[in-house]
Amino acid sequence: MTDFSDAISVATSGMKAQANRLRHVSENIANTDTPGYQRKTITFAQMVQSGEASGAVASGPMRLDQSEFTRIYDPAHPLADETGHYDGSNVNLLIEIADAREAQRSYEANLKMFDQVRQMSSALMDLLRR
């Protein structure tokens, strides 16, 4: 029975991590037009419990994308320099959408595993019932 409950916790950790990733993606998308906004990325790492890897995943610390800002031409903007340009964000919407889709697929995979474990355990118990 412990394997079933362990599998459920691992699947839940995956869902949590993907939800966290999706949150950062939505922050990036929301701030696409914010001047000077640096794209946020997160990493995934194996969760360590009492010295050994538990198999669950955790989202690591958030990091800022250090790539160049896009230069936007708008002389009327208060942040515009003498050439009429200002620093936009370094968010690429296409990458964010792809990332969001990937998060969704991974989330679905974890959800499927969760459901699978539940079905397997109740099938096992159905064996005892008649």
User: Between 8 and 72, whose beta carbon lies closer to another protein?
Assistant: 8
Residue 3 host element (H or E): helix 2-30
Residues 88-127 that bind another protein (CB under 8 A): 114, 118, 121-122, 125
Judged by CB under 8 A, the residue of 4, 33, 67, 98 near another protein is 4
* 105/97 Cα distance (integer angstroms): 12
Q: Determine contact, residues 19/107, Cβ cutoff 8 Å.
A: yes
Question: Which range in 9-17, 31-39, 49-57, 94-102 contacts another protein by CB under 8 A?
Answer: 9-17
49 contributes a contact to another protein by CB under 8 A: no
* 120/30 Cα distance (integer angstroms): 41
According to DSSP, the residues that pair with 62 across neighbouring strands are 42
User: Which residues of the chain form contacts with another protein (CB under 8 A)?
Assistant: 1, 4-5, 8-9, 12, 15-16, 19, 114, 118, 121-122, 125, 128-129
